[in-house]
Structure 1
């Protein structure tokens, strides 16, 4: 028998007084009620949805959470549902469990999507609610817990400290290994910093920026795998009672970048990336080629570009910003006025199941509104299921493409519906990874343009 769905607690209140930060557990029903929420912690997963007694909630992508919902107490059939390799629904986990009055549950699918694991973090808000219901005091309280879902990371000691104070004043919450979580602690609302150390060590190896924990709610800080250049290879998401999650990289993490030469009229390039005397010199970058990734401290940098042979200055002090734990590509191109510029792309390098993440960049100033078709062996452009439309000059767009073999065609359609083929590839293999495709002018090609996969 299906349970009654109580709905998202406080939704109307949140709409009316959203400026106060009201969340789903700010008001609780007097009816026997439990509370459920799903966070997707499986890095290579498809989107996931929570199903309770065949009632299926909206799916969430990796590193995101659905809002917290109220649900009636009692025995319930729980399923976590994703997708298989052809896009059909796949039950990744199922269990019969009891939902008790006042219990709050953060459900998480973790680990490898092909053989995932399940976490159920249960907590209550009684202590926090009693503090906040006391009208004789002027403080407000929140609760905090930390969960470790980073499959490839070791153990950490977890500390919480008030923002603006030193680490020595921070409170040790617990020692966590993969699949572990702390108990929920009740603290004053305010700004905090989370610290991670190696087990038994007294020197932080991970420090968040200030966490604004200002609502009378429960904050779940989730340690998950990161696929950026920072060490350790983890990052932290802050999940409250609403949808989504706020991410906090290590404030001391490095960034990384690479450069791509899309300047067809200038030959090889020398590029200098500089910041306060810290210079990275990259020489002899050929047309259609990219450099290896370069590690760099997070900060703002100037980029100077010269022609390798003549040393003629092509561009001076283009500005690029590298944030913590961020992987970027800077694609160099020339606009209609022959000004040299850079299109900067931020990469999502996480692994994926059954699909590729495609980024397509248009570096040809002669064309706006390009379409790029991914044509399977039994398709033509007219019947191709997967394409990216409307890519203007100096813009990039993305697409999730099922793994497989495709012929890639780039097409321009003018105002009279005349089609121009700018590029057509042989069959290309796309696996469960991330690809950046850049179209640029190249008079050595039969059609005058080249599409390069930037690896």
Structure 2
């Protein structure tokens, strides 16, 4: 009797122990699942603008919240949302501050997944595509996705190497197309992870099936343990040809890489009112011949393509009446366009420079303003439309000192440009004003104020 009781008691203890083990296992499993879900428990949404002749585009929920704006080559911030179906609309704002509907797209958001909506193609009929991937918790590693958004639907073979290694040591990771987003596979995975090791890498692109490099990136430092999306896109703005590799993370900051062998360009403007022509010499870079030409007063040269590098500009007055400009350093980085503006200050030639915009100029105009009046500091420019005054003008640039430049993005429209400064009594003094001028061509505009033989002693020039 006692042995039977002990036997049953033993079996009960075994069953109880098994039951407790199952309960503990269940709790541990639930705890692990909750921990994983807590890392990325929302659905995530981001918009990227890859239309090379487009405008600044806003994305928002139909009859709902805005998810921000993005210019060409930029992205919105990433938003954390509930899962489910979401109807998005895309709009731009025209010159009359009226919203222009572009298109509508329905996306299905899923918890733990990030959805990237990309606008590509010609802006007259853009294509909106949603790509999604599941987010993962990563440590000292990153995942890499790639997509081509070039306007001609071109595909490229993508290679990658550790920074410093040549193309011969690079690893083929796949064909990047406009049809699908590709997740790339690391060639040197370890026991800890199959994902890429954090660090510095170089990206190479070739035509499909070719071993001739058409694009070699600058060093790209992958420092975050997260997912990266790289896109291959066209250039726009002042330079019209070439490729750029954008790196999209989980913020509105997009890193853009140009080809290490991409050409640069420059143009030079003679803002002086000297009767004699200026003799310009541009050169001094290794293995590049000096270029010499003349510019008459008020003349703007055409864009000149040149290899990237550090150059010097020397300018002389052919009459010899003005002190020359000697060896002004001009640095041109890959894929960069620079304006050089020659001025006369106190009978001595000088130069001011700035980088011209790489944004499309079809709808929104990136206009550079510069003060070339050496005896006037703190010049204010106002862009005044037909129904505005300088007090109500929506667009203006303030407090430009001599040789200082600034830019403003304007919707395509007609504007009267007015330049003023404040005297010692804080009263505004007019320097010059233009008639209504149409900023409506696909050009990179430059607006200057400079000395002239006018009633005020100054004039505004609009260059393009």
**Residue 413 (str. 1) matches residue 452 (str. 2):** no
Corresponding residue for 1:296? 306
Residue 109 (structure 1) aligned to one of 119, 127, 131: 119
Distance in structure 2 (CA, Å) of the matches to 1:87 and 1:80: 15
What's the offset of the Cα at 1:428?
A: 1.8
Corresponding residue for 2:231? 222
Runs of 5+ consecutive residues of structure 1 not aligned to the other structure: 1-25, 133-139
Distance 1:182 1:50, change over 3 A: farther
Corresponding residue for 2:438? 429
Matches within 5 A, 1:38-187: 38-43=47-52, 44-51=54-61, 54-126=64-136, 129=137, 132=139, 140-152=140-152, 154-185=154-185, 186-187=195-196
What's the offset of the Cα at 1:261?
A: 1.0
Corresponding residue for 2:326? 316
Distance in structure 2 (CA, Å) of the matches to 1:120 and 1:266: 60
What's the offset of the Cα at 1:223?
A: 1.4
Corresponding residue for 2:351? 342
Distance in structure 2 (CA, Å) of the matches to 1:376 and 1:215: 46
Distance in structure 2 (CA, Å) of the matches to 1:355 and 1:232: 20
- Describe the superposition over 1:348-391 as per-residue Cα deviations: whole angstroms up to 9, x where unpaired: 14334543222111101111122223333344445544333222
Task: Output the TM-score relative to the length of structure 1.
Answer: 0.83
What's the offset of the Cα at 1:116?
A: 1.7
> Does structure 1 conserve the Cα–Cα contact (< 8 Å) formed by 2:154 and 2:177?
yes
Q: How many residues align?
A: 418
- Describe the superposition over 1:249-303 as per-residue Cα deviations: whole angstroms up to 9, x where unpaired: 1111010001111233473111111223633333221111111111111111111
Runs of 5+ consecutive residues of structure 2 not aligned to the other structure: 1-34, 186-194
Distance 1:366 1:30, change over 3 A: closer
What's the offset of the Cα at 1:329?
A: 0.5
> Does structure 2 conserve the Cα–Cα contact (< 8 Å) formed by 1:32 and 1:73?
no
Corresponding residue for 1:243? 252
- Describe the superposition over 1:316-351 as per-residue Cα deviations: whole angstroms up to 9, x where unpaired: 111110000011110112345x54321112111433
Distance in structure 1 (CA, Å) of the matches to 2:379 and 2:321: 34
Secondary structure of 1:77's counterpart equals strand
Distance 1:165 1:386, change over 3 A: closer
Secondary structure of 2:75's counterpart equals coil
Residue 273 (structure 1) aligned to one of 258, 278, 282: 282
What's the offset of the Cα at 1:81?
A: 4.0
Corresponding residue for 1:260? 269
Corresponding residue for 2:398? 389
Distance 1:277 1:122, change over 3 A: closer
Secondary structure of 1:112's counterpart equals coil
Secondary structure of 1:168's counterpart equals helix
Distance in structure 2 (CA, Å) of the matches to 1:427 and 1:70: 45
**Please, which moves more after superposition, 363-372 or 108-117?**
108-117
- Describe the superposition over 1:11-68 as per-residue Cα deviations: whole angstroms up to 9, x where unpaired: xxxxxxxxxxxxxxx9852685322222222332214234388232233333222333
Distance 1:164 1:349, change over 3 A: closer
Distance 1:52 1:405, change over 3 A: closer
> Does structure 2 conserve the Cα–Cα contact (< 8 Å) formed by 1:229 and 1:255?
no
Distance 1:175 1:311, change over 3 A: farther
Secondary structure of 2:70's counterpart equals coil
Judging by fraction of residues, say which structure has more helix: 2
Distance 1:172 1:450, change over 3 A: same
Corresponding residue for 2:21? none
Distance in structure 1 (CA, Å) of the matches to 2:203 and 2:298: 43
- Which entry has the higher C-alpha Rg, 1 or 2? 2
Distance 1:310 1:180, change over 3 A: farther
> Does structure 2 conserve the Cα–Cα contact (< 8 Å) formed by 1:260 and 1:331?
yes
Distance 1:392 1:325, change over 3 A: same
